[in-house]
Amino acid sequence: MAIRQLTPTPRAVDWGLFAAVAALLATGVATIFAGIPSSAWIIDLHALSGVVLTLLLPVKLRRVAHRVAPSRLTGARVLSVVLAAVALGALGTGVWWIFGGTLDLGPWGLFHLHVALGLLVPPLLLVHLRARFYSPRQAIRGGRRDVLRYAGLVTAGALLWRVQGPVNDALDSAGADRRYTGSREEGTDDGNRFPVTSWVADDPDPVDAADWSLSVAGRVAQETSYAAGELSPDATESAILDCTSGWYSGHEWQGVRVGDLLDAADPDDAAAWVQFRSVTGYRWSLPLSEARDAVLATHVDGERLAHGHGYPLRLVAPGRRGFQWVKWVESVRVSKRRELGEWLAIFVSGL
């Protein structure tokens, strides 16, 4: 009876679940770009939404459990069962990851499974709502009581999220060594011995430095091309590579300061973006002012970059997530506007 008094009304629970899933999807996508500490609130909101979903889902399942008896199953209810299973899977893998869990799925792991299940929930939920949509007005019939119940729910969620840190520390689990992004440390200060990952299918054959060159072109007064031997790797940058696959690794990178290349090329007054293009066609752009401080690395912790890490040149962009650190760079192009096509290129390069 006490639990029932603390539980929002059925329609408020339904819309609370929808809001939690929407927040998880939005913040989950946003975490891909959250590379600096000031964006940590995005990861916290993602985790808080997950805890709220964890607290609401059992309430919903308890209310509808009697409908899943074999004699009462319909197509819509089977879909609902699948939705519940996928949602529980996404939550379970997320909690498992937080507390240091691992899972070997070949080229993928536990974190990838969590992301895949999480991305399945929204489309399943939208199909589910086609048969069970209720007006949002019904969600506010509980009035002030539901507001207070949800305030308590969010507070409980925030407390549970904060408790996981001390619990991980007490258990000395792998989850205790996570960065604010949720990523775990691997291979810091150990040269090329950190994970080799590629975004989607970006995986070219090894680059022959004798046949390779770097071009600097676009809105510049002097377009230039450099052979491998003409680049002087005299710039250093200590930076953390934080990959969206769930790991991070800190290193001292050595190479060519992008600002030096731009000064030699002399960008015109309209220049605003600098695009870095890989031999695979993969590309990403940085604002001109940010690009000047970036480094095109040839070495990591004193070792020449391995092929898997982007030899002969890899972009080092502090504060950006790993997929924005373009590997196998062959072109630096200055432009007035950012190329929208690069959003497609990162998914199809290498295919």
Every domain of the chain and the residues it spans = 3-182, 185-346
> Which of 303 and 133 is assigned the larger pLDDT?
303
pLDDT class of 36 with cuts at 50, 70, 90: confident
One-letter amino acid of 70:
P
pLDDT at 2: 47
pLDDT at 128: 84
pLDDT, one tens digit per residue, over 224-235 is 999 999 999 999
Residue 133 above 90 pLDDT? no
pLDDT at 147: 65
> Which of 8 and 266 is assigned the larger pLDDT?
266
Please report where in the chains the tokens 């002087």 appear, as a residue: 232
3-state secondary structure of 61: helix
Mean pLDDT of 146-153: 66
Specify the range with the lowest mean pLDDT, choosing from 29-43, 161-175, 306-320.
Answer: 161-175
Q: What H or E segment, with its residue span, contains residue 235?
A: strand 235-243
pLDDT at 166: 83
pLDDT, one tens digit per residue, over 278-319 is 999 999 999 999 999 999 999 999 999 999 999 999 999 999
Q: Which residues contact 58 (CB under 8 A, 6 or more apart)?
A: none
pLDDT at 312: 96
pLDDT at 1: 45
Residue 127 above 50 pLDDT? yes
Mean pLDDT of 16-26: 89
- Whether the CA torsion 35, 38, 40, 46 is positive or negative: it is negative
Q: How far apart are CA 293 and CA 305, in angstroms?
A: 20
Q: Would you state the structure tokens that stand for residue 191, as one six-digit string?
A: 């040269």
For the chain, percent of residues with pLDDT exceeding 90: 52
185-346, CATH topology level: Sulfite Oxidase; Chain A, domain 2 (3.90.420)
Q: Would you state the structure tokens that stand for residue 312, as one six-digit string?
A: 């002969």
Task: Report yes or no: 116 and 86 within 8 Å, Cβ to Cβ.
Answer: no
Neighbours of 68 (CB within 10 A): 14
pLDDT class of 137 with cuts at 50, 70, 90: low
3-state secondary structure of 110: helix
DSSP letter (8 states) at residue 318:
T
Taking alpha carbons only, the member of 38, 175, 30 closest to residue 97 is 175
pLDDT at 6: 55
Class of domain 3-182: mainly alpha
Q: How far apart are CA 8 and CA 13, in angstroms?
A: 6
Q: Which residues contact 172 (CB under 8 A, 6 or more apart)?
A: none
Number of H helices, E strands in the chain: 9, 13
pLDDT at 225: 96
Greatest mean pLDDT among 15-29, 37-51, 93-107, 249-263 lies in 249-263
pLDDT class of 260 with cuts at 50, 70, 90: very high
Query: How big is the chain by its Cα radius of gyration, in Å?
Result: 24
> Which of 200 and 317 is assigned the larger pLDDT?
317
pLDDT at 5: 54
Q: Would you state the structure tokens that stand for residue 255, as one six-digit string?
A: 């190479």
pLDDT class of 66 with cuts at 50, 70, 90: confident
C-alpha distance from residue 85 to each of 31, 199, 302 (Å) = 24, 28, 48
Please report where in the chains the tokens 């391995």 appear, as a residue: 306
Taking alpha carbons only, the member of 64, 63, 50, 60 closest to residue 19 is 50
Mean pLDDT of 192-214: 89
Taking alpha carbons only, the member of 166, 184, 205 closest to residue 328 is 205
Q: How far apart are CA 234 and CA 305, in angstroms?
A: 15
Give the mean pLDDT of the chain.
87
